Structures are given as structure tokens and as C-alpha cells.
Amino acid sequence: MFLEPHFKGQRSGWIEVICGCMFSGKTEELIRRLRRAKIAEMKLEIFKPRIDTRYDESSIVSHDTSALLAIPAEHSSRLLKLDPEVKVVGVDEAQFFDSDLPAVCQQLALQGVRVIVAGLDMDYRGIPFGPMPYLLAIAEYVTKVHAICVHCGNLATHSYRLVDGDTVVLLGEKEQYEPRCRACYHMGNILRLK
């Protein structure tokens, strides 16, 4: 038997967060979910922070070179300027967005949009990064992906910075960062301080 929703025309939206350290496959998983939405013929929009130009200025690109076109955004408010037909919104590198991103995602979900966000959960210091802790708190679905520690082979949860400097945002790749497990991450920081 089919049950009618409580409110006619009610649409269901939600927030999904994909998080983890660098090289854990966050963007790869985001692209996989967005491609499935495309196969289902759902209208979607993809956003990335304007400052992230590592691989491409107008695409999200995973380390395995999978890519999808995206809109570079200066501020999270840009996400609200959607075609009303959009059912799915993808956001990559969410940690680089402003602190309004969680409220924007919340608003989109309340409008019936499926919002899929990917980003680093911690910065190189092991501290929750940008708007990510707030997104993790309000999301209906959270997926934590892991890389492999380059030192011991255990699951990596931390992004270890290989170069000196204390600026939190340092766009980089394997020359600047490597994935490490908790123990190898802390051991590296202890050795660095000596």
C-alpha cells in the first residue's frame, strides 16, 4: 500500500560528507557519487573553491585524474544561485570555503537538494579544518575514507606536511604532504621538533 507524505509536494534533501586525510580518495568518491546521479538523470551542479587551482581551474580532479566540470566559487553564497531544477549539489575541497558553508548546505537540504561535500577533516596540525567539523555535525551521512600510511602501511588518518612553514592553507601534493597513521604522524612531529 502506498502512503501519502504528510505534506503534498514535500521533497527530501540531505547532506552527505566525505572526509579524510590527503590521498584518501575523497574527490574520487565524490566524483563516483556525482556520476551515479548523472546516470539517474538528476540535474546537478558542482562547486569548488576558487583558490584551488592545483589540477584545473574549472574542474574537480582526483589524484587518479578522474574529473568533472565545476564552478569555482569565491564564497559559499554562490551555491544558492541554482537553477530550481537542480537536485544534487557537489562541493569539493570544502575545508577551503568560508564559515557560511554549513548554513548554505543546510538551506539547500531544506529546499530538497541532496548535498554531497568532500574535504579534509583535519589540517596538517591535526586540528579540525575550516567548516568541516560543522558539516560533519549536521550531515545525515558521513563517510570517512583512509589512505595508507607511507611509513608503516596502516590506515592513514593524518596529512603530514613535509615542508616547513606555519600557514594553514598550503595547496600541495606529494612534494608537500604524505598520508600517515596516528603513530607515524606524531613520531614525525616529535622528530621535527628535535
Q: Are 93 and 70 in contact (CB under 8 A)?
A: no
Give the C-alpha separation, 146 to 156, whole Å.
6
Q: Does some domain include residue 132?
A: yes
pLDDT at 58: 72
Strand spans (E) along the chain? 14-20, 44-49, 59-61, 67-69, 71-73, 88-91, 114-120, 141-144, 147-148, 155-156, 158-161, 177-180
- The pLDDT tens digits for 47-57 are 999 987 666 66
Domain count within the chain? 1
Percent of the chain scoring above 90 in pLDDT: 70
Q: What is the pTM of this model?
A: 0.86
Higher-confidence residue: 19 or 60?
Answer: 19
**Res. 174 pLDDT band, cuts 50 70 90:** low
Residues of the chain by 3-state class (helix, strand, coil), percent to 5: 25, 25, 45
Domain range spanning residue 105? 14-146
Q: Does some domain include residue 7?
A: no
Q: Does some domain include residue 135?
A: yes
Q: Does some domain include residue 4?
A: no
pLDDT at 95: 96
Among 16, 29, 45, 93, the active-site one is 93
Establish whether 74 is a catalytic residue: no
Q: Does some domain include residue 126?
A: yes
C-alpha grid cell, residue 17: 560528507
Q: Does some domain include residue 167?
A: no
- Residue 145 confidence (pLDDT) above 80: yes
Give the C-alpha separation, 34 to 69, whole Å.
11
Which whole number is the average pLDDT over 74-82? 95
Q: Does some domain include residue 168?
A: no
Number of residues that this document lists for the chain: 194
The domain that contains 62 carries what CATH number?
Answer: 3.40.50.300
Q: Does some domain include residue 6?
A: no
Under the phi-then-psi rule, with left for phi > 0, alpha for psi from -120 to 50, and beta for the rest, what region is 133? alpha
pLDDT at 113: 97
pLDDT at 120: 96
